[in-house]
Homo-oligomer: A and B are copies of this chain.
């Protein structure tokens, strides 16, 4: 019950169900870490059900439940409100799942279910103020237009947040300066900086203020840290710190093993955390036996990944390269992350095998 020792997959093979999910959803190709803002088609994507068809002309966002003045807003209404834009890093809560052993069965992510986009929209807080949230309200439930079956029950994708956790949230209608692409929630999605991706409800059509904590599937069943015996633990919330590198050299097609020539050159990458700014990134070129500090780029934004750079003299032979992040909360990535039943929040340090040989 730990990460595979060399960063490769455990011996068990992938099941057909996992393959069906992997064919639809996709990770960030790691070389795309070179872009500070991820182009839309390269950003990771996890879609629970189907991308719903949406007619923007008849679309409404309804705000109801424990409010004084229920709202029904068109996209134009939302666009006419205060607008803000910010780079935000999203990571799937299941990132790293396929490296756990035994491997939890769901979307079989390796390490790269991440991306950073420039999200533009209107802040949630003034809109809730306008609706007049009643003092009795404790949570806001965000419901998408996508429907499917999960845990045996038909449902819309929906997740609730405690009101305090909605601070800083955005109702986004643009990604990287263009209307949201269908797969990222057109025409409207929630963006909650710092939280794992499941929080950022796509195709957002309803916000319901609740007077009791939500006990629906995605909060009460799905996104929780279960033990091996199935005992439910804490909910999955903010992103644990993680760093990834742009794999150096060139890949072998089938194995994706990296090959490069000897000599000096930079290793580069990006690191992020949902618990505050990245304060330190360290790099290991000896399979995690020792680490040395990388140079950090200026922050891209308070809720976005931070670039780093490390000079390395590649010597002939096989090496395992790693980077690890430490955030402002003092948390450092572990070499092995604790196992949990559904494979969430595995932020174990990456292991990138490379072969350095003569040109």
Contacts and interface: CB of A to CB of B under 8 A. Distances in A.
Contacts of A251: 49-50, 148-149
Contact of A18 (B14, B15, B25, B112): B14
A21 to B, nearest CB: 7
Interface string A185-208: 000000000000000000000000
A178 to B, nearest CB: 9
Contacts of A47: 29
Given A51-B29, A149-B250, A250-B147, A23 B182 contact: no
Interface string A4-21: 000011001111111111
Contacts of A39: 181-183
Interface string A153-187: 01000000000000000000000000001111000
Nearest to A151: B253
A87 B19 CA distance: 30
Nearest to A253: B150
Contacts of A43: 41
Contacts of A105: 254
Contacts of A344: none
A26 B43 CA distance: 12
Contact of A13 (B16, B40, B110): B16
A20 B27 CA distance: 10
Interface string A234-245: 000000000000
Copies in the complex: 2
A17 B255 contact: yes
Contact of A32 (B31, B48, B49, B51): B51
A42 B45 CA distance: 10
A19 B110 contact: yes
Contact of A255 (B20, B29, B256): B20
A19 B9 contact: yes
Contacts of A13: 12-16
A115 to B, nearest CB: 11
Interface in A315-341: none
Contacts of A147: 250
Contacts of A42: 51, 181-183
8 contacts: A9-B19, A13-B15, A14-B15, A18-B19, A32-B51, A39-B183, A49-B250, A50-B250
Given A26-B45, A42-B182, 4 more contacts: A23-B112, A29-B51, A50-B250, A154-B250
